[in-house]
Structure 1
């Protein structure tokens, strides 16, 4: 999130498509495609103008949005993250209204901005490391328990119970875990399979399957120590190296 543009007296304050992706936990390509669809439907007020950038040797293009268009875009992408974008806009606008009147104020503001940029750079590095770690951990079709097995120290036997307390899962009359309406198609989906019974009948078994967004949230809960952990956990937030590169 170091690519923000803080305006001067004449330049408008804008927010980049990459920052919106970071705030909402979305892929940058998905953000851009959503913006392009909104623009095609004449919902956005400003034309989309792509800006070329390079990060770690990889070239990419991003869009920039005014406040109104960014809120429209994030509401389409992920309504639950609208508050995060509103908060960020308040920070941007507060920064744009700070006009130093003296040399000392200018130096103080420059020092504060330099410190904030350092903090943002560190946060960006940490987030990049987390994303890289997640990419090595998550595979489409995994159950929450299978994903938890790749996280060092997590008590996998208690993961489903912990997710049920968060409204993600519930137990049906057979004692099996099912996806709750709150999390369905948001964090989890279900995989159905037919299980023959001795009576000759076939029982349909439903298995909760983690979606990528659910994996992101589980990984966040892990880093915040909000998943059930083993008493023998060494306190290290790492993953099982036997799975490295499996995704």
Structure 2
């Protein structure tokens, strides 16, 4: 199988074509300064683990005419792939998605084209099916009892653990005090019964009894997070 360094590819590969917007693995490599080979390796590993979905698709190199492989990823899977990158690189990816979404909203549809009409009908049918599945998921979460740690919440919501911590921090659900490694919940999220604190005793290295606090996500918090994760991180 042929691979190459994405930095040799001048044309970037975000596209919509009337369907769900996707980002190419070549685009991720270009924006993050990585090689396409390394990005492909990371994606293949996560696909094999079932963390992200996707199949390798062929494309023709615009300069040498040869065929190579790439992935096309939706917003959620793209964010999972770059969750381990620096904040600066993640910001580049998010900014690029925002540009794409804005361009897609501004593009008029040609309703005289039967293919466009069929595409709109198909999209609406998909939206109805997705909404039905989403409502079932929210009903299941809302019926859940008790609370769970953020790591378990990430598994329940189907997102990467580190990504959920970053997402909740960016949305001002959780924070860290200066010099403290433990995450805490913002008061407004506790008052809204979305999060709660769990205090437990432990022995430190000197044999001293200490109290540690961790954040738990309530059933109501799971439902709200599920709703927020449906939205782009603007």
Q: TM-score range with shorter-chain normalisation?
A: 0.3 to 0.5
Structure having the higher Rg: 1
TM-score by length of 2: 0.39
Structure with more relative contact order (C-alpha pairs < 8 Å, separation 6 or more): 1
